[in-house]
Amino acid sequence: MILPFQGMAPRIAEDVFVAHSADIIGEVSIGEGSSIWFGAVIRGDVHFITIGKNTSIQDLSMVHVTHFTRDDKSDGYPTIIGDNVTVGHCVTLHGCTIEDACLIGMSSTILDGVIIGKESIVAAGSLVTKNKVFPPRSMIMGNPAKVVRELSTEEVASLYKSADNYVRFKKMYQ
CATH code at 63?
A: 2.160.10.10
- Is residue 55 within 8 Å of residue 31, measured between CB atoms? yes
Question: pTM to 2 decimals?
Answer: 0.96
Q: Is 70 a residue whose pLDDT tops 80?
A: no
Q: Is 60 a residue whose pLDDT tops 80?
A: yes
Q: Average pLDDT, whole number, for the chain? A: 96
Confidence label for 45 from pLDDT (cuts 50, 70 and 90): very high
Q: Is 71 a residue whose pLDDT tops 80?
A: no
- The secondary structure element, H or E, covering residue 159 is helix 153-171
Task: Quick: pLDDT tens for 141-167.
Answer: 999 999 999 999 999 999 999 999 999
Q: What is the pLDDT of residue 174?
A: 87
Q: Structurally, how many domains does the chain consist of?
A: 1
Q: Tell me which residue range forms the domain holding 41.
A: 2-171
